[in-house]
Amino acid sequence: MRYVKLFVLGLATVALVGCSTTQMARMSSSLTPSAKVVTDDFDGSTVVQQEPVNAGFGHALGFDWTSRLPESAFVTVQLFEIVNITGVQFNADGVIIDSPSPVDAATNFETGTYPTSRRRFEMPLKDFVKVATASDVRMKVSRMGEYTVTKIGPANGGLVVNTKFAPFLEKIRGTGLAKGLEVAP
């Protein structure tokens, strides 16, 4: 009888671990959304969107592209604190890319359980491709009078954002509408 109880307890443990693992995978998927292709309701243009995902301690990075502006990419920088984001620069394998220009007139703030600051920037698609395909990338986020730096890219570990660049570029390639995306997959 004792062995039966241990056997049942063991089966219950395996079942709970299995359910927990499945639930964690679902939760991870919802917390790290994948790029998607949508049609703009206003003008019918094709838009490829990647919501911001983890880009290092306290930083998140998202990106999007639209067929309306096929030579541009847009990056969304997010910090998990309330600060005024004034700029972003990238150092991609030693090449400084300071082309991103603010799209939003000001930083967007969200207060609540997890306060965040978010600002969107436009940059040439060819510069975004350099960032997306570089091995070692430093992202410098400027704020009023100071800045933070986070390291992304394959040389800097398994950050979620590193897994999002290639699928995003592939979805843009799939539209057949991009200009400046000559880099081989």
DSSP for 24-63? Answer: HHHHHHHHSPPPEEEE-TTT--EEEEEEEEE-STTEEEEE
* CB-based contact 53:164 (threshold 8 Å): yes
Parse the chain into domains and list their residue ranges.
1-31, 33-175
Mean pLDDT, range 138-145, rounded to an integer: 95
pLDDT tens readout for residues 2-50: 655 555 555 554 444 444 333 333 334 456 799 999 999 999 999 999 9
- Quick: pLDDT tens for 102-122: 999 999 999 989 899 999 999
What pLDDT, in 10s, does the model give residues 150-171? 999 999 999 999 999 999 999 9
Please check whether residue 67 is in contact with residue 46, taking contact to mean a CB–CB distance below 8 angstroms.
yes
